[in-house]
A and B are shown apart, each in its own frame.
Chain A
Amino acid sequence: MKKITAALAGNPNCGKTTIFNLLTGSHQHVGNYPGVTVEKKQGVCRYGDYEITFVDLPGTYSLTAFSEEELVARNYILDEKPDIVVDIVDASGIERNLYLYMQLMEMDVSLLLVFNMSDIAEQRGLVFDIQQLSTLLEARIVQMVGTKGQGKQFLLDAVINSIEKPRKQRIHKINYGDEVEHELDKIEKALIAEEPELSQKYRTRWLAIKLLEQDDDISKHIKSSRVKNIVTSSFEFLKDILGENPEIYMAGRRYGYISGACQETIKTTAELRHNYSDMIDSVVTHRVIGLPIFLSLMFITFFLTFKLGHYPMSWLEHLFGWLGKTISGFWPAGSENWFKSLIVDGIIGGVGGVIVFLPTILILFMMIAFLEDSGYMARAAFIMDRIMHKIGLHGKSFIPMIIGFGCSVPAIMATRILENKRNRLVTIMVIPLMSCGAKLTIYTLITQAFFSEKLQPLMMWLIYIIGIILAVISIKLLRLTIFKGESIPFVMELPPYRLPTFKSISIHMWQRGWMYLKKAGTIILAASIILWFAMSYPKPDTSSHQNKLEYSAIGRLGKAIEPALKPIGFDWKIGTALIGATAAKELFVSQMAIAYSVGDPEQADMTLREKLSANYSPLTGFCIMLFCLIYAPCVATIAMTKQETNSWGWAMFQFFGLTVLAYVITLIVYQVGNLIFY
């Protein structure tokens, strides 16, 4: 069996992922490119004598060094040298799509063109002279309709044909005009003389073009000062006579070349003025009803996620409950030992607590995949951009933040829809300030314990609003300090609406679900075991009446930090519960219950709520909510932040940053509140 590697390149929204899914099915591997947060997808397809590995490169419009995605795609092609690059273009928007192809052509790699969405192109009345285009563009061309699964065979045949019978040297090249060509020539000559190694490794003409475009990534490889000087003087000279930046001028020439090629080979038989996409857009991006439509769609997404997710979630809860009981049954009464407690309370309790969220996560990602694949997400981003732009974020950031009200883990995963790294990092940092479902259990306990029925909804609303306000302020602060820089201006393509395929959505859903299970699951397992040990050991003598929790490692830790917690109105019990709750926020409630389980005999028959209101003031109650809202996110969130930012640094920044913020704000509220109320 012969092995081939084929890289799939293409514009965003050209249907590349659909074709990738069509080719590789479920035989996919999703990871990250080393050192960056760009997703790397690989899949294998067996065909005839060949085992073809398809690599789905990030969707880009060009191959400059301005964005991480473009650089990743370019470096993959240059350094990993796939046997063939398959450029997938949206046939209904051929000219714009061929721009990327021009750049691939200049890199002089083995190429194959796929005209995807040929059906839509046909509807728009476009007729292609494939033979002629193939000659002009010097590559085999395959017509496909990825969403209907048409053309898979042709594509695979063409890949193998292109490899078995490769084309000769390219004849055509883009002519950039006499002035530019002259300067390119000078740079090329200097490169061959001064940088023999580099011009051996890459194509000299391509290097010269990139240098003239002042490409940062290529420029840094140049050591020779003579080459540098020639490039600088050529650049200044051309800028002067062309009246614009040479790189922009050259982009114009590439488009000119495409226009020329298309003029001869593409005929328009019918002019379609208004299509259904325009009609949908006139409603959903309407300046008055656009926002309400978006908000209702979001509401429906959440409603369905948590409503539908509720049933499998309770089944799983029962399953884990049953599992715990069954395993407990292996030990006859009285013979229970530490091992049983570790398995049942530690591992099944801890890991089960995470897995029960899986259905919710799967449904949520199915909904998001649908909104994204259908083309609506681009419109939503535009609607929200008006508001989000004011705080220095992209409109799309709104979506992960909304998901944050459910759970931070999928919210952080959802930041993948943001292309800009700075935007992604800022959004990830503030997501924990959106009160998640687990924090809701804490709020419920506290509001019911300390506030009258009338005040409860108000307090609940207040804590959510405080979270949002803090998030907005934090974003502003982060954008002004660590993530300084011009806010990314908004340019985004509005892809035509299309019905997503079931295959694409289910593959997307399972990939996200699996990631959740694998990453959050392993970390949670470790954390559960550690926490269980900390809560169970060391054990006090059975004869003493000491509180077991107080005697344990985590209880001692709580005691140790008590002096630091005094100024914000907390005692060691709250401290212990707060530490435990970093494993999962809802643990705060069970930890408080354990801490109060052995205590004053007079309070023995009181509920936890009554015990809390008997021991703390409403101000302390409010401060608990406030602190829980802001402080260190749970272990699963930290693990996810680490994975998505590819750095422990950001995860730790989030951990400590939020804890410090929580402390400062709670301190102010408690001290001021004390002055006013007591």
Chain B
Amino acid sequence: MEQKEIKPLSKIRSGEKAKLVNIEAGRGLNNRLASMGLVSDVEISVVSNSHPGPFVINVKGSKVMLGRGMANKIMVSGCDNEKDNSGSGR
């Protein structure tokens, strides 16, 4: 698989998917996000990214809202063009 460019989640458009690389935040926030399923390599699909409105993602089957500031701290690698079906666990 080719190496994808790493960019903040906020750059991913509505309807696209991305893989989480890391989160540039403090321990508390990192842990909270991890407990909600945001760990390395998890597939995130962006449900809604409309400036300046809600930033909503779908991770492991549940919808999670994020502040825009946080979406800037979550680094992902895009997998928008890939036709992969190994991403989800079920």
Q: Report which A residues bind B (CB closer than 8 A).
A: 61-62, 64, 66-67, 92-96, 99-100, 126, 214, 244-245, 247-249, 251-252, 255, 258-259, 262-263, 266-268, 277-278, 281, 285-287, 290, 378, 382-383, 385-386, 389, 486, 489-496
A285 CA to B56 CA, complexed, in Å? 10
Chain B residues with Cβ below 8 Å from A285 are 48, 53-54, 56
* Beta-carbon contact of A245 and B70 below 8 Å: no
Contact with A along B34-71 (1 / 0, CB 8 A): 11110111100001101011101001111111110110
B66: A residues at CB distance < 8 A: 490-491
Q: A385–B89 contact, CB under 8 A? A: no
Complex Cα distance, B14 from A286, in Å, reads: 14
B54 x A382 contact (CB < 8 A): yes
Known: A248-B34, A285-B48, A493-B65. 7 other contacts (CB 8 A): A248-B40, A252-B39, A255-B42, A268-B90, A285-B56, A490-B67, A494-B56
Chain A hits for B23, CB < 8 A: 248
Kindly list chain A residues whose C-beta atoms are within 8 Å of the C-beta of B26: 486
Separation in Å of the A215 CB from the closest CB of chain B? 10
Q: CA of A244 to CA of B30 in the docked complex: distance in angstroms?
A: 11
* A491 touching B40, Cβ below 8 Å: no
Rounded to whole angstroms, the CA-CA distance of A66 and B26 in the bound complex is: 12
A-chain residues with CB within 8 Å of residue B42 when the two chains form the complex? 255
A99 to B60, CA, bound (A): 11
A64 and B70 form a contact (CB under 8 A): no
Of chain A, the residue at the smallest CB distance from B29 is A489
Known: A244-B22, A255-B39, A493-B36. A66 touches B59 (CB 8 A): no
Q: How far is the CB of A179 from chain B (nearest CB, A)?
A: 15
Q: Complex: how many Å from CA A421 to CA B81? A: 43
Chain B residues with CB under 8 Å of A268's CB are 90
What residues of chain B lie closer than 8 Å to A249, measured between beta carbons? 40
Q: How far is A96 from B34 in the complex, measured between Cα atoms in Å?
A: 10
Which A residues are CB-close (under 8 A) to B37?
95-96, 99, 255
Whether B4 is near chain A, meaning CB under 8 Å from some CB there, is no
Q: What chain B residues lie within 8 Å of A281 (beta carbons)?
A: 48, 56, 63
| Shortest beta-carbon distance from A475 to chain B in Å | 18
Docked CA distance A371–B82 (Å): 40
**Set A66, A248, A266, A491: member contacting B36, Cβ < 8 A:** A491
| A251–B26 alpha-carbon span in the complex (Å) | 16
A489 to B, closest residue via Cβ = B70
Q: Which residue of B40, B48, B52, B61 contacts A96 across the interface (Cβ within 8 Å)?
A: B61
Closest-by-CB residue of A relative to B41 is: A252
User: In the docked arrangement, what's the CA distance between A119 and B45, Å?
Assistant: 25
Q: Which residue of B lies closest to A60 (CB)?
A: B35
- CB of A102, distance to nearest CB on chain B (Å): 10
With A285-B48, A382-B54: A95-B69 Cβ-Cβ less than 8 Å: no
State which of B35, B59, B89 has its C-beta within 8 Å of the C-beta of A251. Answer: B35
